[in-house]
């Protein structure tokens, strides 16, 4: 019996080492680290650790133990987070939706700004715990009340559960501002990555709600504002750049809108939508809306081809305005509040920010834009990682804080 246990232990050890070696080798063969990014070794190590958690999560998913996103979120939530004595943190529920409320401990003679924060993670990972330090610093440095929303995520909860949760939490907060000492004229929605997309959608959803305080501004940090075109210049240039590669982004997409992964080649060829649909939204989605300087690292336009009707039927939820707020009608977009948009050069989603920025500006919505020339997707999250912080992460937070202080 003991001999059998010893053999199993050694086999598990060998298998674990094999998984680790495979992740490292795969990283060097399939990942590009741009020379402009500071601390490239740090990013390599961080990406390998991330891929290791994804790989183990995938193994457990295939064994039926748990889903890959559940495992990755579990690992991230094990990371320690700092407690700041200057910020009071409360765990509450808005209806059934868990939230964390961050309030500066020092009393204020006036009502504070209120910030609704929606975390990123591709709608599959990320949590209230993993964003605790970011929200804590945002509250302290901007002297604002920050409410982080713990929405339900895929694959357990498909679209549109996430958006429903966030809308419920947003409306609840707007109706109870006085409980938190928040100025009704200074409520801001904010988010990074998928959370940035949520923030954009919340603004659009609330445009015609006359019985609620108006949203004062939106902060969108490398936000997802379209799930239609995976061949924009930034998708081609940064397909292999950590921390968000094309493969992982597409995996998030499949989990969230419940699309089978076998459609990847069809979608990448832009054959999942009819040509007339591409033409309809070209005025907002077309690469001609992206400044030429962002195409210098290489871009080859992929023209639409005859569509696959089965793929269209399965993927048409991508055209829902809650998934692609970029294509909302002018009548809605023109009424949106001013925006602070943060984009990163080495980010798969860079062009989402550029397209939404142009869309807002064309309709007269004021935009404050910060472009991080050495930034990559997910860099803000490194603020809470003592050994993996990047200078760019502090600049992103500073841009958010500076914008808030100006409201």
Is-catalytic flag, 193? yes
* 407 vs 79: CA distance, rounded Å: 34
Put residue 302 in one of left, alpha, beta given phi > 0 → left and psi -120 to 50 → alpha. beta
Which among 329, 349, 369 is positioned nearest to 219, based on CA atoms? 369
Alpha-helical (H) ranges within 260-306 are 264-268, 275-285
Angle at the Cα of 157 (from 353 to 377), degrees rounded to 5? 25
Would strands 338-346 and 217-221 be described as parallel, antiparallel, or unpaired? parallel
Residues 6+ apart with CB under 8 A from 349: 193, 222, 223, 224, 234, 244, 249, 377
Other C-beta atoms closer than 10 Å to the C-beta of 370 total 19
Which residue of the set 47, 119, 272, 377 is catalytic?
Answer: 377
Is-catalytic flag, 165? no
3-class secondary structure, 160: coil
Spatial contact of 132 and 81, defined as CB atoms under 8 Å apart: yes
Which residue of the set 165, 192, 229, 347 is catalytic?
Answer: 347
* 357 vs 328: CA distance, rounded Å: 14
3-class secondary structure, 193: coil
* 225 vs 319: CA distance, rounded Å: 11
Which residue of the set 73, 142, 193, 393 is catalytic?
Answer: 193
Is-catalytic flag, 377? yes
132 token code pair: 């605790």
Angle at the Cα of 134 (from 347 to 101), degrees rounded to 5? 130
Query: Which DSSP category does 200 fall into?
Result: H
* 174 vs 165: CA distance, rounded Å: 14
* 149 vs 131: CA distance, rounded Å: 10
Spatial contact of 140 and 84, defined as CB atoms under 8 Å apart: yes
H-helix or E-strand containing 45?
A: helix 40-62
Residues 6+ apart with CB under 8 A from 390: 37, 38, 39, 42, 43, 379, 382
Residues classed as catalytic: 193, 347, 377
């Amino acid at each position: 019996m003991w001999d059998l246990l010893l053999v199993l232990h050694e086999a598990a050890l060998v298998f674990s080492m094999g998984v680790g070696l495979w992740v490292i080798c795969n990283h060097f063969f399939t990942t590009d680290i741009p020379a402009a990014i500071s601390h490239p070794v740090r990013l390599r190590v961080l990406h390998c650790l991330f891929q290791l958690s994804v790989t183990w999560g995938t193994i457990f998913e295939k064994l039926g133990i748990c889903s890959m996103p559940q495992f990755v979120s579990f690992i991230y939530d094990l990371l320690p987070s700092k407690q700041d004595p200057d910020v009071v943190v409360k765990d509450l529920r808005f209806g059934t939706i868990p939230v964390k409320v961050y309030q500066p401990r020092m009393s204020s003679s006036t009502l504070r700004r209120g910030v609704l924060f929606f975390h990123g993670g591709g709608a599959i990972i990320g949590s209230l715990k993993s964003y605790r330090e970011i929200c804590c610093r945002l509250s302290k440095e901007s002297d604002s009340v920050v409410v982080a929303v713990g929405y339900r995520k895929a694959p357990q909860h498909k679209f549109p559960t996430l958006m429903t949760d966030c809308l419920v939490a947003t409306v609840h907060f707007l109706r109870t501002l006085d409980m938190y000492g928040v100025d009704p004229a200074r409520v801001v929605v904010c988010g990074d990555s998928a959370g940035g997309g949520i923030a954009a959608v919340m603004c659009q959803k609330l445009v015609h709600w006359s019985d609620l305080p108006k949203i004062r501004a939106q902060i969108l940090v490398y936000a997802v504002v379209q799930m239609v075109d995976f061949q924009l210049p930034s998708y081609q240039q940064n397909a292999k750049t950590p921390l968000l590669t094309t493969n992982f982004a597409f995996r998030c997409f499949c989990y969230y809108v419940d699309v089978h992964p076998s459609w990847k080649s069809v979608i990448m060829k832009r054959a999942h939508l009819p040509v007339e649909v591409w033409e309809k939204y070209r005025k907002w989605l077309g690469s001609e809306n992206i400044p030429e300087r962002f195409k210098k690292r290489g871009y080859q336009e992929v023209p639409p081809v005859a569509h696959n009707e089965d793929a269209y039927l399965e993927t048409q939820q991508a055209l829902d305005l809650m998934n692609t707020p970029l294509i909302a009608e002018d009548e809605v977009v023109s009424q949106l509040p001013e925006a602070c948009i943060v984009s990163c050069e080495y980010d798969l989603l860079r062009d989402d920010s550029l397209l939404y920025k142009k869309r807002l500006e064309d309709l007269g919505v004021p935009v404050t834009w910060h472009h991080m020339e050495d930034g990559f997707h997910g860099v803000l999250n490194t603020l809470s990682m003592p050994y993996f912080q990047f200078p760019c992460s502090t600049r992103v937070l500073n841009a958010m804080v500076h914008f808030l202080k100006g409201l």
